[in-house]
Amino acid sequence: RREIECAFCDDCSFGFSFSENSFGRIICTNFRLLFEPLAKSESNLPLRFKVFDDRWHIPLFCVHSVYYVPVKRNKKKFLSLTSSLSSLEVISCIRLHLKDFRVATIDLRGSQNGVSLLNQILFFSRPLKLENIFQAGTEWLGKLSFNDSRSWDAELKRCGHRANDHWRVCNQFSHGARRFVARFVKET
C-alpha cells in the first residue's frame, strides 16, 4: 500500500503539551499526520542525536481519541469526536490524545480545511472492520498498555500496517521507571 495525501491545512499552529507551538502546514495521509514548520531549526548535531526531529510525524494508529472546538458555539470547550462532522461546520482547534500519553494540539484559526482534516484523521485512525477492534477482559487491569514490543506489534497488525515495514518498534531506555511507557513506534 502506498501513502496517499488525503487532507492538508495551511497557516496552522501545531504543538505538543509543555512545548512551543510552531506555525506551518499540516498534512494528513492514510498512514500518518505530518507537520511542516515554516521555520526550520538549524542544528549541527549528528543524525543519531536528532531524536526530536521525528516529533512532526504522528502515525495515525497511535491516535487514541480526537477532540475539537466548534466555532459556532463560541466556547473554548473541547468536544469528543465520535463520528464525522458536516462540511458546513467550522472548527478552530483539534486536540489529539495519543496512545503513548502525548497530547498534540492543532490550532486552525487561519486555515480553511479544518473539518476535512478532522474527518480524515478520524477515518484513518480507526479500524475499518469491527473484528479488528481490541476487546479486553479483566486481565488487563494493573498492566500498563503498550509497554512491550509485543503489544505494539499487535497494535500495528490490528491497524493493518505490519505487512509493510514502514514502522519500527523502538526502545526508549533500558532501565527506566515502570510507570512510564518505554517503547514507541518510529517510521523507518
| pLDDT tens digits, one per residue of 93-111 | 999 998 888 899 999 886 7
pLDDT digits (tens, 9 = 90+) for 55-66: 578 888 888 999
How many whole angstroms separate alpha carbon 168 and alpha carbon 130?
Answer: 25
For residue 153, pLDDT beyond 60: yes
How many whole angstroms separate alpha carbon 20 and alpha carbon 14?
Answer: 9
Q: What is the pLDDT of residue 61?
A: 85
Same domain, 98 and 163: no
Show the domain range for 106: 5-125
Q: What is the pLDDT of residue 165?
A: 67
Best CA proximity match to 181, nearest among 61, 100, 104, 103: 100
For residue 143, pLDDT beyond 60: no
Residue 131 lies in a domain: no
Same domain, 147 and 120: no
Place of cell 498534540: 104
Which residues on adjacent β-strands are paired with residue 5?
29
Residue that finishes a domain, picked among 78, 99, 125: 125
Q: Give the residue with greater pLDDT, 139 vs 101.
A: 101
**24-63 in b/e burial notation, b at 16+ Cβ within 10 A?**
bbbbbbebbbbbeeeeeeeeeeeeeeeeeeeebebbbbbb
Same domain, 101 and 171: no
Tell me the pLDDT of the chain averaged across its residues.
Answer: 75
Mean pLDDT of 74-93: 84
Best CA proximity match to 84, nearest among 114, 111, 123: 123
Place of cell 536528532: 50
Residue 135 lies in a domain: no
- CA distances 172 to 26, 44, 51, Å, are 26, 23, 10
Same domain, 157 and 120: no
